[in-house]
Amino acid sequence: MKGDTLGIHGGFRVDSVTGATAAPIYQTVSYAHKSAQGLAEVFDGKSPGYLYTRLSNPTTTALELRLAELEDGIGCIATSSGMAAIASAAMGLLRAGDEILAAAGIFGGTVSLFENTLGRFGVTTRFVDAGITEQFAEAVSERTRLVFIETIGNPRMDVPDIPAVADIAHSVNIPLVVDNTVTTPFLIKPGEFGADIVVHSTSKFINGHGTAIGGAVIDTGNYDWAKGRFEDIRKVSEGMGKTAFLAHLRNLIYRDLGGCAAPMNSFLMLQGLETLGVRMAKHCINAKELAGYLRSHRRVGWVNYPGLGESSFSDRVVKLFDGRGGGLLTFSLVDKERAFGFIDCLRLAKNLANLGDAKTLVIHPSSTIFHEFSAEQQVRMGVTDDMVRVSVGIEDFEDIRGDFEQALEKTFEAGK
């Protein structure tokens, strides 16, 4: 089945008891078993079954199966947030003394997780320019245990050469973890380009309506855990084969961290997936239109949208995303004062910390998501004081353009 069909039918067809066509919300903490022996066997891993919603839940299972099918992966674990997904994947791979090799221009929360939180446990992170593949090759070391990139760096908007970075990771037998949040499987299935693990914040385009927080970890099946550099996962692979990493997470890391998906949120993600294909197409069209409009506006300094023909990443956008540049862009408005003034003048677009909503969203990254980082760190991440980030929604484009036009006019009126 194709993506548009899997988004609707993947993982769940009809409820076997009632015939319900929407996945039932199993709003339960636990699951009764008929016998003490039966429950003991499930606990012991000798028999499949639901035990406790922190481990698994039928509504969340439907979401996991659908996401795994959409990413063409071998399995998925849904989490309480995108950060919980990245934390689970990273902590499943890393030990004190290990290194992460990561793209520099990625989500500030991920940078903080790697540098600050995991840094407290003896993990160090090397950041490199995602656009310059050679930097990955130079920075990878014997201590590297995880290579991490975003398909399009948020907010730097740089596009790594995913197959080349995968080759570098694999040259030292290390998995490549790719955050596919801003592109979704409708623009790219990173596993087809060599990624080993795909992570998502499902709160963004997958949910699509700003109604629930969630995340996901998907194993693409590319990495051979039985021959990998992770002794504990190698051991798990003796019983669990190719699903060793997911079993390692489910039965240890994810279980112990407690970042489980809420059943209601899993339901909302399933709803979002049903329309993701058509929404992504419209996000991409509107974003490209808005990028073109802003580029031609005399008050706008620069526009950073990888889907523009003049972008230095346009070749990779064609190769990796079939020419579609996603729904996110950044642009410059002289300085922080004008950027703030513009945001305050918008009527339709919402000023908030999120992306991937059906609504058009804006934010001034430097003073919000990245406010805790030093000026030097912000430069490394591609964040500047004059920069506004836009998550372009799926409203009628003329209404988006009209809103931006009136806000730009007001910001610069009377020769300001």
Interaction site with other proteins (CB under 8 A):
1, 42-45, 47-51, 55-56, 61, 65, 69, 72, 74-75, 77, 221, 236, 239-243, 246-248, 250-252, 255
Distance CA 339, CA 268 (A): 34
**Cβ distance to other proteins smaller for residue 85 or 240:** 240
Give me Rg for the CA atoms of the chain.
Answer: 22
CB of 246 to other proteins, least distance (A): 5
CB of 39 to other proteins, least distance (A): 10
**Cβ distance to other proteins smaller for residue 9 or 209:** 9
3-state class percentages of the chain: helix first, strand second, coil last, to nearest 5:
45, 15, 40
CB of 319 to other proteins, least distance (A): 25
Amino acid at 49: G
By C-alpha distance, which of 388, 395, 308 is closest to 348?
A: 395
Q: Are strands 328-332 and 197-201 parallel, antiparallel or unpaired?
A: unpaired
Amino acid at 19: G
Residues 400 and 389 sit within 8 Å (Cβ to Cβ): no
**Cβ distance to other proteins smaller for residue 1 or 375:** 1
CB of 21 to other proteins, least distance (A): 16
CB of 120 to other proteins, least distance (A): 25
**Cβ distance to other proteins smaller for residue 110 or 220:** 220
**Cβ distance to other proteins smaller for residue 13 or 371:** 13
Distance CA 205, CA 203 (A): 7
Distance CA 350, CA 344 (A): 10
Residue given tokens 């992306």 in the structure block: 355
Residue given tokens 């309506």 in the structure block: 209
By C-alpha distance, which of 298, 271, 300 is closest to 390?
A: 300
**Cβ distance to other proteins smaller for residue 73 or 108:** 73
Other beta carbons within 10 Å of 132? 13
**Cβ distance to other proteins smaller for residue 5 or 173:** 5
CB of 314 to other proteins, least distance (A): 33
CB of 41 to other proteins, least distance (A): 9
CB of 18 to other proteins, least distance (A): 16
CB of 257 to other proteins, least distance (A): 13
* Per-residue DSSP letter, 52: B
Residues 326 and 306 sit within 8 Å (Cβ to Cβ): yes
**Cβ distance to other proteins smaller for residue 6 or 339:** 6
Integer CA distances (angstroms), 256 to 23, 56, 177, in order? 27, 13, 21
Residue 92: both structure tokens together = 């499943």
Amino acid at 114: F
**Cβ distance to other proteins smaller for residue 200 or 248:** 248
Distance CA 233, CA 224 (A): 10
Distance CA 107, CA 332 (A): 19
Residue given tokens 């548009």 in the structure block: 4
